């Protein structure tokens, strides 16, 4: 079974600064996807960024980027120039190419951006 671990239950960052959220996972598969999802207080989960395991290049989406270390099974999210609207729960998630792409989530990191 796959597991996803987020070791930081809560983090805070000052507005405009950079913060990194950690995620590790465990799998014996070679072909998979990793995701970071954001869940604001309104509860609707939104995809932030996605990484294909066979791609060595780290994914980036505007202020969001990942550091994907396949051998170490590590997938951290870096948020640059943090904004108040980034305040939310962040979930790291994993999917394999079976079971209809069901997502396995970590326990989440609550990020507070302070003005």
Partner 1 sequence: GAGVSQSPRYKVAKRGQDVALRCDPISGHVSLFWYQQALGQGPEFLTYFQNEAQLDKSGLPSDRFFAERPEGSVSTLKIQRTQQEDSAVYLCASSFAGRQLGNEQFFGPGTRLTVL
Nearer of residues 43 and 85 to partner 1, judged by Cβ: 43
Q: What does the angle CA 34 – CA 54 – CA 48 come to, to the nearest 5 degrees?
A: 30
CB of 15 to partner 1, least distance (A): 25
In the three-class reduction of DSSP (H, G, I as helix; E, B as strand; rest coil), residue 38 is classed as strand
Q: How far is the CB of 56 from partner 1 (least distance, A)?
A: 16
CB neighbours of residue 100 within 10 Å = 6
C-alpha to C-alpha distance for 4 and 7, rounded to whole angstroms: 10
In the complex with partner 1, which residue's Cβ is closer, 16 or 46? 46
Alpha carbon distances (Å) from 29 to 12, 17, 87: 33, 36, 33
Query: Is the CB of 21 or the CB of 108 nearer to partner 1?
Result: 108
Contact residues for partner 1 (CB under 8 A)?
Answer: 4, 6, 31-33, 37, 42-47, 50, 52, 91, 93, 95-108
Smallest separation, CB 87 to partner 1 (Å): 16
């Amino acid at each position: 079974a796959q597991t996803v671990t987020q070791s930081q239950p809560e983090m805070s960052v000052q507005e405009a600064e950079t913060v990194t959220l950690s995620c590790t996972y465990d799998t014996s598969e070679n072909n998979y996807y990793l995701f970071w999802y954001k869940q604001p207080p309104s509860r609707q989960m939104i995809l932030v960024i996605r990484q294909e395991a066979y791609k060595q290049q780290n994914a980036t989406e505007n202020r969001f980027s990942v550091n994907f270390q396949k051998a170490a099974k590590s997938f951290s999210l870096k948020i640059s120039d943090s904004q108040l609207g980034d305040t939310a729960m962040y979930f790291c998630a994993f999917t394999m190419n079976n079971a209809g792409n069901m997502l396995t989530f970590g326990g989440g990191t609550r990020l507070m951006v302070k003005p």
